[in-house]
Amino acid sequence: MSVYRTSVAVFDVPEHWHDQSIVAFRLPPAPGGGGEASFVLTKDPGKGVMPFPAYFEKQADAVSRSLPGYHEVKRALFHANERDAGWLEFQFEKDGRTAHLRQIFFDGDFTAVICTLTATPADIAYHEDDWRRVMASLRFDPPAATPHYP
């Protein structure tokens, strides 16, 4: 696997703009599979000062109420990649087809970083090994140093 870094440029932005970066990868189809798959990394500045467990539960509850045919597979808080994290895995109906999403939320202090794997229920297992390698390789930038005043 090659290393991928999302930062490709530096530029000035107004302070009132909020970074809601989205990085998306289209995955190769499973052999004999019928669906498209993707891996998407997003940033959510909406976490703010909310404690991470409360933020995660709020997001999971909102998803469960808003998607037709929602069926939860897994919901758990855990620690990974040196951060508090939450695992939300579910299926829902879209355009007469069932989609399977696996979302891992990471606490990024005032933001949340969300990694989403999307596939059909029949194809999710095909992407499992690659997904686990990608997630194991994820390294967050260190937080800014706390200023020390004499």
Q: What is the CATH number of the domain that holds 57?
A: 3.40.1000.10
Asked whether residue 126 is domain-assigned, the answer is yes
The CB-based long-range contact list for 78-87 (8 Å cut-off, 24+ gap) reads 80/104, 80/106, 80/135, 81/106, 81/135, 81/138, 81/139, 81/140, 82/140, 83/107, 83/108, 83/140, 84/52, 84/53, 86/52, 86/53, 86/56, 86/60
Per-residue pLDDT 10s for the chain (150 aa) are 544 455 556 667 677 777 777 889 999 988 887 778 999 999 998 899 999 999 999 999 999 999 999 999 999 999 998 899 999 999 999 899 999 999 999 999 889 999 999 999 999 999 999 999 999 999 888 776 677 777
- Structural domain boundaries enclosing 42: 19-137
Asked whether residue 6 is domain-assigned, the answer is no
- pTM to 2 decimal places: 0.86
- Look at the chain and report how many structural domains it folds into: 1
Asked whether residue 147 is domain-assigned, the answer is no
